[in-house]
Amino acid sequence: MDKNINQIAAYFETMPLWPFVLFGLLGIVAIMVDIINRKRRALAIDNFRYTIEKEFSDMYPEHKRWPRNINHYLTARLPEMYHNFEVLRIFIPQDRLLSYNMDWNKFRDFCRNLTDERIAAAEQNSTATHQPASTELDPKIEFHQLISNLLKHTHI
């Protein structure tokens, strides 16, 4: 047994150290890249959530009021949201990417198709008790559901 230990010790004395130094540096670089990516992911999530909280403060998480000319209001905010969506997309796992893209497309389509007339009709249907319920979902409920679907992807 002592002979084996002496043989191993002699091997390490004659072996060059540069491979160990190289692997050590690669390990340090890998850890630094992981730390940087974690910070970038956290920043992307914070920016995405902040944009939603800031831009839709009157409508989400607690609905206070719909702004006038809702279609213009929502579509004017889509470019900034799309930018944050794209940044966050990098950090979404591959198996959830399809769901993330579909949730974004539904939200974008909702923002482009929502009109003041549709909101007024939904409010009128909700106040009229003798009229049958419409097959269309209330825009407030649909908006909250779409935002919630987008935000669920920030809890990775």
For residue 125, the enclosing domain spans: 38-153
| 12: in domain | no
| 5: in domain | no
Mark out the alpha helices in 1-156 (DSSP H runs): 2-14, 18-55, 70-89, 94-113, 116-127, 139-151
Which ranges of the chain have pLDDT less than 70? 128-136, 156
| 120: in domain | yes
| 26: in domain | no
**pLDDT, position 88:** 94
Specify whether the CB–CB gap between 70 and 119 falls below 8 A: yes
The number of distinct structural domains making up the chain is 1
Find where tokens 């097959």 sit: 135
Q: Which amino acid is at 76?
A: A
**For 13-47, how does the pLDDT look when each residue is reduced to its tens digit (9 = 90+)?**
888 889 889 999 999 999 999 999 999 999 999 99
| 13: in domain | no
| 24: in domain | no
